[in-house]
Structure 1
Amino acid sequence: MVLPQSVDSLVPKYAALLGQLGELLVVAAVVYIPGRYLLEPAVAWLFGRRNMDPTIERALQKVLHVGVIVGTLAVAAAAAGFSGLLGGSALIVAALTLAVGFAAQDVISNFVAGVFIVQDRNFTIDDWIEWDDKAGFIDDIGFRVTRVRTFDNETITVPNTELATTSVTNRMSNDTLRISYKFGIGYADNIDETTRILLDVADDHDEILTDPEPSVRMADLGDTAVLLQARFWIGDPDREEFSETRSEYIQIVKDRCEAAGIDLSTTTQHDLSGKLTVDEPPTSLTSEQ
């Protein structure tokens, strides 16, 4: 008779628990769906109307999404009567605190680093950055990692702390970017004429700026070549424009120098020539053997 009484006493409790869980799910759906599919798109539309910086906009959208989830859980738990149970359970609170303490060390450091990255005006989405022999465009700045798309269309997932504590070169943070290239000509070639060609090619190219002015300087005297360094500037730089302008400039310089009889094929490498001879061993040594 004891067992049936125990079962009879447990059934109402489990039924009440299932009722609370059902209420939790219903309230969560009622709160989450409008927040996810009405509030978040409305805020995104508002951000778009204000022409907000895409990096800041995406970060705020992620914060809003997390807020919708946390708010949904809090409202649903309170409506279903679970808030008192969770709040009063010292064991659950202690377990959650211990778990968060171990698991969130790297998460918190990366989150803080991400906050500093987002607020940095010189570090935005679609920027072309270079660090630790890696390079690519910033695709997304998350709470824990930043995703960088390489020039081979691969995605690198970089912890925010790595970018926050490493020297990062941003080639798109300013309105202009300087391109430099060294040309080697023979010692018998005319330096002044080559300089004129290098400057004329820069002046004729539509993407090369006239202010700052292009310049040509003698960079070095090699063993077999005189090295001239051409420097010029492009505006609103990106990776594609940088590569195209640099390639076109080098190609046109090559063609004009060939037409003028200027040799660009010289190098600074050492050319070794001569004979290798091996002397016969002394006669005395041969006879002793």
Structure 2
Amino acid sequence: MIQFQFQLQFLLQTDPPAAATLDLWGIGTSILLFAVGFLAVLALGKTILVPAVDRALRSREFDEVVHNLATSGANLVVWVGAVVVALTVAGYGAFLSAFAIFGGAIGLAVGFAAQDLVGNFVAGIFILQDRPFEVGDWIEWEDRSGRVEEIDLRVTRVRTFDNERITVPNSELANNAVTNPVAYDTLRQKFVFGIGYDDDVDEATDIILEAAADHPDILDDPAPSVRLVELGDSDVGLQARWWIANPERSNFVGVRSEYVQTVKEAFDDAGIDIPYVHRELTGSVEVVEQQLQ
């Protein structure tokens, strides 16, 4: 009974308006601290961090896709940092700790589920930065080839010379050897002409060099050359080497075809044989007579 009377007296003496005022004051202080912390970090990030990232990327001439991605990431970091600092200043650090644990678990699960996607995304960034090839280049990888039409952060789209489109994951191009025949201003080509063992090697060499000198798309510097590279079963192999400028797929195929045809016709006129393998089957047939019983 005495305890009940004491509690009742305490409740009667408590001033409800004063308690409510304290609560409102605390809420107002938290809101003010949150707003000050958020705006301060946001202003610093927008005026210092984001412009610094922008200047660094432009000074190193990063690809525009990488530049936009990095600046967007910097802006996201600024916003997240502003919220984190504001909550900490306002006295809600415990909430941040709980959210960080929860977010980390979600991030780990998403990372395992999308590791291939993330790998292609990272590979796309390296391709855009290292520039092993660019849009319009003719590339070869594994047993495929084609012209690059588009490079995204996840995939690269290649148009084959049969007019097909291949969508290639960036990790495949980043982790395998890629040949870029049009990376430089000139390209060397090779072809082996086979002549007979009874033919004159010097005469055949002169014909090959003259045909290269007469072709308008074959460069004089570096000069064409011929090397004896093999003594086959039925022919002597002479490897012709020549250079073309501004190599493109169509140009390369056309020059090669015209040059080889010219050499073939000159060989025919000079009586130089381009032999092929002759095989002669010999043997005998044995007839076995078997008497039936």
Q: TM-score range by the shorter chain?
A: 0.5 to 0.7
8 Å CA contact retained: 1:144, 1:160: yes
Distance in 2 (CA, whole Å) between partners of 1:185 and 1:105 is 56
Query: Mean Cα displacement is larger for which, 230-239 or 91-100?
Result: 91-100
Task: Establish whether residue 190 from structure 1 lines up as the match of residue 200 from structure 2.
Answer: yes
Cα displacement string for residues 61-110 of structure 1 (whole angstroms, at most 9, x for unaligned residues): 6x49x949x98xx9xxx9xxxxxxxx999599579646633443222211
8 Å CA contact retained: 2:156, 2:168: yes
The 5 A counterparts of 1:102-113 are: 102-113=112-123
Q: CA RMSD in A?
A: 3.1
**Percent same amino acid at aligned positions?**
49
8 Å CA contact retained: 2:66, 2:129: no
Which of 236, 260, 268 lines up with 1:258 in the alignment? 268
8 Å CA contact retained: 1:128, 1:136: yes
Which of 254, 273, 277 lines up with 2:284 in the alignment? 277
Partner residue of 1:138?
Answer: 148
User: Aligned pair in 2 of structure 1 residues 139, 119: CA closer, same or farther (>3 Å)?
Assistant: same
The 5 A counterparts of 1:1-289 are: 56-57=63-64, 60=67, 63=69, 67=72, 97=107, 100-264=110-274, 266-267=275-276, 269-274=277-282, 276-281=283-288, 286-287=290-291
SS at match of 2:63: helix
Cα displacement string for residues 259-279 of structure 1 (whole angstroms, at most 9, x for unaligned residues): 222222x12x341233x4222
8 Å CA contact retained: 1:140, 1:147: yes
Name the aligned partner's letter for residue 261 of structure 1.
Answer: G
Deviation at 1:148, TM superposition (A): 1.1
8 Å CA contact retained: 1:176, 1:233: yes
Name the aligned partner's letter for residue 272 of structure 1.
Answer: E
Partner residue of 1:31?
Answer: none
Mind listing any 5+ residue stretches in structure 2 that lack a counterpart? 1-57, 84-94
State TM-score, norm by structure 2.
Answer: 0.64
The structure with the larger Rg is 2
Distance in 2 (CA, whole Å) between partners of 1:224 and 1:102 is 60
Distance in 2 (CA, whole Å) between partners of 1:237 and 1:260 is 32
Distance in 2 (CA, whole Å) between partners of 1:59 and 1:207 is 39
SS at match of 1:237: coil
Name the aligned partner's letter for residue 196 of structure 2.
Answer: G
Distance in 2 (CA, whole Å) between partners of 1:94 and 1:121 is 34
Aligned length: 216
Distance in 1 (CA, whole Å) between partners of 2:159 and 2:135 is 11
Deviation at 1:177, TM superposition (A): 1.1
Mind listing any 5+ residue stretches in structure 1 that lack a counterpart? 1-46, 48-52, 79-86
State TM-score, norm by structure 1.
Answer: 0.65
Name the aligned partner's letter for residue 277 of structure 1.
Answer: S
User: Aligned pair in 2 of structure 1 residues 59, 254: CA closer, same or farther (>3 Å)?
Assistant: farther
Name the aligned partner's letter for residue 258 of structure 2.
Answer: E
Distance in 2 (CA, whole Å) between partners of 1:178 and 1:197 is 19
Distance in 2 (CA, whole Å) between partners of 1:122 and 1:176 is 17
